[in-house]
A and B are shown apart, each in its own frame.
Chain A
Amino acid sequence: MRRVAVTGLGVVSSIGTGVAEYAAGLRAGRSGARPISVFDTEGFAHSMGCEVVGFTPERWITEQPLEDLGRAAQFSVAAARMAMRDAGVDDPGRAMVCLGTTDGGGDAGERIAENIVRDKEVPAELPRQVPAVTLPVAVARELGLSDVDISTVATACAAGNYAIGNGFDAIASGDVDLALCGGADAMCRMTFTGFYRLGAVDPERCRPFDVNRQGILTGEGAGVLVLEPLDRAVARGARIYAEVLGYGLNCDASHPVAPDQDSVAACMRLALDDAGVTPDQVDLISAHGTGTKANDATECGAIHDVFGDPPRTVSVKSMLGHTMGAASALSAIACALAISDGFIPPTINHVETDPACGIDCVPNEAVEADLRIVQNNALAFGGDNSVVLFGRHG
């Protein structure tokens, strides 16, 4: 089995585009929250979200017509291009593009449905933007990849970690020489409306682990990581942000939306075991940390079950909102940056820690820290859990 290095990062997010801006945003504890503008929010009592603003797709997408691509596909291409540039790879060899997503081209589907409901003509380009596979295909097209393992892992809000795990296995087993993996989603009406109806959207800000938390803010963006064999990365003198040490996957197989504490704990144990790491060696957990009452208490309960005395546990969703399929990819990138740059991103909007969570969430301000091993948690509707472990190289 080959060891696996993270050598390139690409980010489109509400707190910054590009890895430098994103890292600065994480350090500063920047908030991406603003009023939602991508769909009509009339009739909702509140409509804050973490939207990507000032995105210029033409800067990143030059090899295909922009109108062929939905918003999530555009984010994917931009993040993949940035990640490849960041990695400085000339010849990717046998490649994989594996992206996670919750909604894929679902925002285009919503516009089709809206046109039908309002008795309007459906614009011809919309149907071809719907299939979720358009995200990695657009990336492969833009980068001119042909001998490529293309896939979309559509495991809802844990999809980014699933994609990273798939890339890890493909590199470790020698199936491919380079993997572009991560996740992307565009803000859409469905997720906002669904969470709103469940009473799980915070009116103002996302405040994970806080005693007064009221839910998620929906967000959007893309995060792409370049994975390659560690020995190859070392040989070519690449910058190595972190190593992927291992991961775990399981399924609650119990409830469609409520997480299961024992199952989440089991997934963390699977990941630790896969990585050959003991709980006391983990320096930081980047939690799923959505900011809903149920998620944070259940997830922290599971963390206590596994770790006893847990390491510091943060939620970057406090800054980014819940970016769905991109969420665990953006969180994974935060883990890699935390390790390479020696800091812990804060959990912002924090006033008082909920005793039911009982963790040190590094409130409001980043701290300097020497991190060797960092854990990235992801949970999803349907009970699909995925946990990835990153370690410092050298």
Chain B
Amino acid sequence: MSIMISAWSAHSPYGHGSRAFADGIRGGVPAAQMSTKDEWAAAEARVVPDFDIVEQLGRKGTGSMDRTSALAVATLRALQRDEHGSVLPNSRTGVVLGTTSGSNRTQFEFTRDSLTRRRPYFVNPAQMPFALMNSAAAQCAMWHGLTGPNSTVAAGRNSAAAVLRYAARLLRTGRANGVFAGAAEEHSGARELLEHGQTLGEGCVLFFLQTADSGNRAALAEVVASDTRFCDGAPRQALVASLRHVVPEVDEVWGLALSSTDSELSEVEEDAMGEVLGQVGTVLRPGRLIGDTGAVSGAFGLAALLAHAETDVAARGRLAVATSVDRDGTAGAVVLRLVGSQARGER
């Protein structure tokens, strides 16, 4: 049973919606970097511009909302707007979102309040659900009335592969008949404390997935494979094994997106790509343009491939591969077959 991507959207350091991301990534100019500072850390980062939660979503239900959830809710709304209402959820539409560890800022603030206020329980109870990792997926369900399976997959940098595999399973088993699948990651000083060295980015990417036989929507791509591997302390070996498994026909590969930003992991991805795929015509490194977006890095890679494929007729019918690795020895790969038979002028 084929799993198809029929639409996508993103909130990225390039702006709101798929068009801002597609234009930015094709333009190849790095997104603006700005100075950020909160009580936890000061940093230079690539954040989603003009994204004030209350301005974007209104006052109701947003008083304690974390930025990760807000990015996800807004991206889902953008996806539906971009598609002019043609993505129609029903009672079995699900959400599967990737994360690293949820909203670190909300978790840290909650802990701070407990430790510094006159009583340890003088915390804001409304903040608690937003401190949990499933907040973003659950908020998507609440804001958009999605009562199907609602899952949060915490796979860190390998979230694209883990999320798409999980979502495809929900579709193949009939547990959902459509899934908003992707990942979200916020920038904050708290996250700066947990991720060293890189210029951090943030954002959310969502794909709308369905099985090939459902609906009449023109698909953008088929999800051919999503795979993760583990090789203790040796992510290169893990990625090589994964790529060998998911790309049997290397000649069919049109494009590749590498997700790493730091030099060590980038080298791992470059080496594994060279070993398994040889020379690939289109190689994208979106992290160099939008920063280290953690759990969303793989999904941004897929979105970048879709954006480039729109304007490259050579992509049609061929494969696009997005990879990810992490220091612990995990690696992931997603393979799409680009459909792209119709010009998608509105994007």
A residues whose Cβ falls under 8 Å from a Cβ of B? 41-44, 101-106, 109-110, 112-114, 116-118, 122, 127, 130-134, 137, 140-141, 144-156, 162, 166, 169-170, 172-173, 175, 189-190, 193-194, 196-198, 249-257, 263, 266, 380-384
Contact = CB atoms under 8 A, between A and B. Distances in A.
Contacts of B194: 109, 112, 127, 130
A251 B230 contact: no
Given A146-B241, A251-B138, A382-B137, A154 B146 contact: no
Given A154-B102, A194-B128, 9 more contacts: A44-B121, A114-B111, A141-B232, A144-B232, A151-B166, A154-B153, A193-B123, A197-B121, A253-B146
Nearest to B41: A116
B37 interface: no
A132 B330 contact: no
Contacts of A253: 141-142, 144-147, 150
Contacts of A249: 94, 148-151, 170, 175
B129 A150 contact: no
B101 A131 contact: yes
A186 to B, nearest CB: 14
B178 to A, nearest CB: 14
Query: Interface SS of chain A: helix, strand, loop or mixed?
Result: mixed
A166 B169 contact: yes
26 contacts: A103-B133, A112-B108, A113-B108, A117-B115, A127-B193, A131-B154, A132-B154, A134-B328, A150-B162, A152-B154, A152-B155, A155-B137, A162-B151, A172-B173, A173-B172, A190-B131, A251-B95, A251-B138, A252-B147, A253-B145, A256-B138, A381-B138, A382-B129, A382-B135, A383-B141, A384-B150
Contact of B230 (A44, A146, A380): A146
A278 B133 CA distance: 34
The 4 A-B pairs at the shortest CB distance, nearest first, are namely A382-B138, A132-B154, A251-B150, A154-B133
Contact of A190 (B99, B111, B169, B329): B111
A325 B195 CA distance: 25
Interface of B: 40, 94-95, 99-102, 104, 107-108, 110-112, 114-116, 119-123, 125, 128-135, 137-139, 141-142, 144-156, 158, 162, 165-166, 169-170, 172-173, 175, 190, 193-196, 228-232, 238, 241, 328-330
B138 A154 contact: no
B330 A109 contact: no
Contacts of B138: 251, 256, 381-384
Nearest to B238: A146
A112 B193 contact: yes
Contacts of B120: 41-44, 193
A113 to B, nearest CB: 4
A103 B121 CA distance: 19
Given A149-B165, A153-B152, A250-B149, A109 B104 contact: yes
A145 B231 CA distance: 8
B125 A198 contact: yes
Nearest to B100: A131
A154 B137 CA distance: 10
A152 B159 CA distance: 10
Nearest to B150: A251
B108 A102 contact: no
A250 B154 contact: no
B151 A153 contact: yes
Nearest to B133: A154
Nearest to B106: A190
Nearest to A158: B134
B189 to A, nearest CB: 9
A43 B113 CA distance: 13
A132 B133 contact: yes
Contact of B111 (A44, A113, A384): A113
Contacts of B133: 101-104, 132, 154, 156
A254 B144 CA distance: 10
